[in-house]
Amino acid sequence: MNIKILSANPGLYSTQRLVEAAKKRKHNIEIINHTKCDIVIEKKNPVIFYKGKKLEHADAVIPRIGASVTFYGTAVVRQFEMMRTFTTTESQALVRSRDKLRSLQVLSRAGLGLPKTIFTNYSRNVKEIVEQAGGAPVIIKLLEGTQGIGVILAETKKAAESVIEAFNNLQARVIVQEYIKEAGGADIRAFIIDGQVVGAMKRQGKEGEFRSNLHRGGTASVIKLTDEEEIAALKAARAMGLGIAGVDMLQSARGPLILEVNSSPGLEGIEAATGKDIANEIIKYIERNVD
- 194 and 167 part of one domain: no
What CATH number has the domain bearing residue 157?
Answer: 3.30.1490.20
Judge contact between 113 and 256, C-beta under 8 A: yes
pLDDT above 70: percentage of residues in the chain: 95
19 is a domain residue: yes
What CATH number has the domain bearing residue 207?
Answer: 3.30.470.20
69 is a domain residue: yes
101 is a domain residue: no
> What distance in Å separates the CA atoms of residue 69 and residue 35, rounded to the nearest whole number?
8
Question: Which pLDDT band holds residue 38 (cuts at 50, 70, 90)?
Answer: very high
Got the DSSP string for 123-151?
Answer: -S-HHHHHHHTTSSSEEEEETT--TTTTE
Lowest mean pLDDT among 89-93, 166-170, 207-211: 207-211
Cβ count within 10 A of residue 143: 15
* Residue 212, pLDDT above cutoff 60: no
106 is a domain residue: no
User: Which residues, including other chains, have CB under 8 Å from residue 284's CB and lie 6 or more apart?
Assistant: 25
- 132 and 52 part of one domain: no
Judge contact between 258 and 113, C-beta under 8 A: yes
Q: What is the phi/psi pair of residue 128, to 5°?
A: -65, -35
Q: pLDDT digits over 112-129, tens only?
A: 999 999 998 888 889 999
> What distance in Å separates the CA atoms of residue 17 and residue 13, rounded to the nearest whole number?
6
**How many structural domains are present in the chain?**
3
- 139 and 187 part of one domain: no
* pLDDT for res 122: 86
pLDDT greater at residue 239 or residue 150: 239
194 is a domain residue: yes
24 is a domain residue: yes
- 284 and 194 part of one domain: yes
196 is a domain residue: yes
- 162 and 186 part of one domain: no
β-pairing, 86-87 vs 219-222, is unpaired
Where does a domain end: 179, 212, 232? 179
Sign of torsion over alpha carbons 215, 197, 114, 208: negative
* pLDDT for res 106: 97
- 123 and 144 part of one domain: yes
* Residue 49, pLDDT above cutoff 90: yes
* pLDDT for res 143: 82
* pLDDT for res 207: 66
Model confidence pTM above 0.75: yes
* pLDDT for res 205: 74
> In the predicted model, what is the mean pLDDT of residues 72-93?
97
* pLDDT for res 216: 57
- 132 and 165 part of one domain: yes
Domain that holds residue 258: 182-289
What CATH number has the domain bearing residue 44?
Answer: 3.40.50.20
- 55 and 24 part of one domain: yes
109 is a domain residue: no
* pLDDT for res 150: 81
> In the predicted model, what is the mean pLDDT of residues 7-16?
96
- 157 and 91 part of one domain: no
Q: pLDDT digits over 146-170, tens only?
A: 555 788 999 999 999 999 999 999 8
- 257 and 196 part of one domain: yes
* pLDDT for res 185: 85
Where does a domain end: 179, 203, 225? 179
Question: Which pLDDT band holds residue 178 (cuts at 50, 70, 90)?
Answer: very high
* Residue 4, pLDDT above cutoff 80: yes
Sheet holding 47-50, edge to edge: 37-40, 47-50, 53-54
Q: What is the phi/psi pair of residue 233, to 5°?
A: -65, -45
* Residue 94, pLDDT above cutoff 90: yes
